[in-house]
Copies of this chain bind each other. A is one copy, B any other.
Amino acid sequence: MSERLPGYRGLALKMLLEAGADIGDLIRVVKDNVVLEGVLIPRSEYSDDKHIVIKSRSGYNIGVEVTPATKVERVRTELKPLFVPPPPPEQRTGLPKVTILSTGGTIASRVDYRTGAVRPVISASDLYSIVPELSDIAVIDAEILFSIFSEDLTPKNWSAMARAVADHISRGIDGVVVTHGTDTMGYSAAALSFALQKLPVPVVFVGAQRSEDRPSSDAPMNLIGAVYAASSAPFAEVTVAMHETPSDEAIIIHRGTKVRKCHTSRRDAFKTVNSKPLARIVNNKIFILTNNYQPRDLERKIILKPEFDERAALIKFYPGMNPKIIDWYVSEGYRGIVLEGTGLGHVRRECFPAIKGAIDADVIVAMTSQCIWGRVNMNVYSNGRDLLSIGVIPLDDMLAETALVKMMWCLAQSKSIDEAKNLLITNIANEFSDRTVEHFEPPKFSMG
């Protein structure tokens, strides 16, 4: 490994050294008569010795496998200038106060080509400089909570986020925005929906599918929408603000317990499931889509319940699944299992003894559906009825991801297993949808 060229070894390192290339240089790689140009970026400790990774002009990272026949040339130094924000625009008076808490992810970050690291750009003046529109909407206070890829966040981070949000709210602000990597933003939004009760003001999660330094970035518009919702929306709930469609037409505000990332890369990746979104924002006008929400009320006292018990697991069922996986979780001391069953809430009968064993060992076992849409109904078929008899708790139309988060939360809030079970089936943050707000027919109970 080389200190100058971190992550590069073997042939790849040799060629880069011979070309005199440094991280951040524009380089040209010629291989099989194909010419590729891009900025050399660092690799990690796990990297092989065959690939050179460059960031192309379009923003994509390209890994080129080098062979002895490959040619590598250094074109020129192309470091991004160190970011020097212009002076922030003059602050208007009388605007709402919004706190932006940064947790990491693509939004509000820039790649530092020198190190390859993602540098959070989240001081208030940075934000005003990058997205000057924000200064028309709110007076912003910004704080970096952590800089973590969202797949690396754990329930401990949810607790820290909840505490930080409650702390800022207690200082008297009009709303909170949490910038977050999109990968697990749905999980975190569900977590804070349970951890922050009786909110006086909105808490709006926001992410971006393309980073702010790319022309096609959704970051500025999402951020503007999120700050607008935090400062002005009439609801005081935990929500997620993202693009409604691939175009820049509208920002849609999802409820934290009913939203999931349904596309790997599109700007409109987030979808509300089994319910309606709370609101749309078009041209800084907010259109409320439901009457069923907790209204903003600055006098309301927030209740903070930030603990999560990590001894809960999500198991997605599949044909032939080994029942011993359930035994394993029990033997590891897990206290809750959320099954992602098939259809109306089924797993194979071969799993029934293991499930019964878990429940006999005081593990709470709950059922959701891998269908995603619709609701679990375990009274229709005999396998479902038997699972109910064994003591599996059906979670109706709750998302599997939300169910896992809620299981962790219920276990941490309760002194007894019965209390945790009761909490699990109590509607805390609209994680259960009323049938009356649905537009599809209720399931029919077709077999004996």
Contact = CB atoms under 8 A, between A and B. Distances in A.
Interface string A24-46: 00000000000000000111111
A373 B443 contact: yes
A441 interface: yes
Q: Which of A59, A63, A382 has the most chain B CB within a 10 Å cutoff?
A: A382
A290 B435 CA distance: 37
Interface in A243-268: 246, 261-266
A153 B319 contact: yes
B151 A106 contact: no
A155 interface: yes
Contact of A447 (B44, B118, B264, B371): B118
B262 A371 contact: yes
A55 interface: yes
B386 A46 contact: yes
Contact of A152 (B157, B275, B325, B383): B383
Given A352-B46, A369-B264, A343 B183 contact: yes
B261 A343 contact: yes
B316 A155 contact: no
A263 B445 contact: no
A86 interface: no
A342 interface: yes
A430 interface: no
B320 A442 contact: no
A146 interface: no
- Identical copies in the complex: 2
Contacts of A262: 371-373, 442
Interface string A177-211: 00001111001100000000000000000000111
Given A43-B385, A62-B379, A263-B371, A444 B214 contact: yes
A440 B266 contact: yes
Among A43, A325, A373, A438, residue most surrounded by chain B Cβ atoms (within 10 Å): A373
A404 B318 contact: yes
Interface of A: 41-48, 53, 55, 59-63, 106, 109, 111, 113, 116-118, 149-158, 181-184, 187-188, 209-211, 214, 216-217, 246, 261-266, 269, 271-277, 310, 313-322, 324-325, 328, 332, 340-350, 352, 356, 369-377, 379-383, 385-386, 388-390, 401, 404, 433, 437-448
4 shortest interchain CB distances as A-B pairs: A264-B374, A265-B443, A183-B342, A183-B343
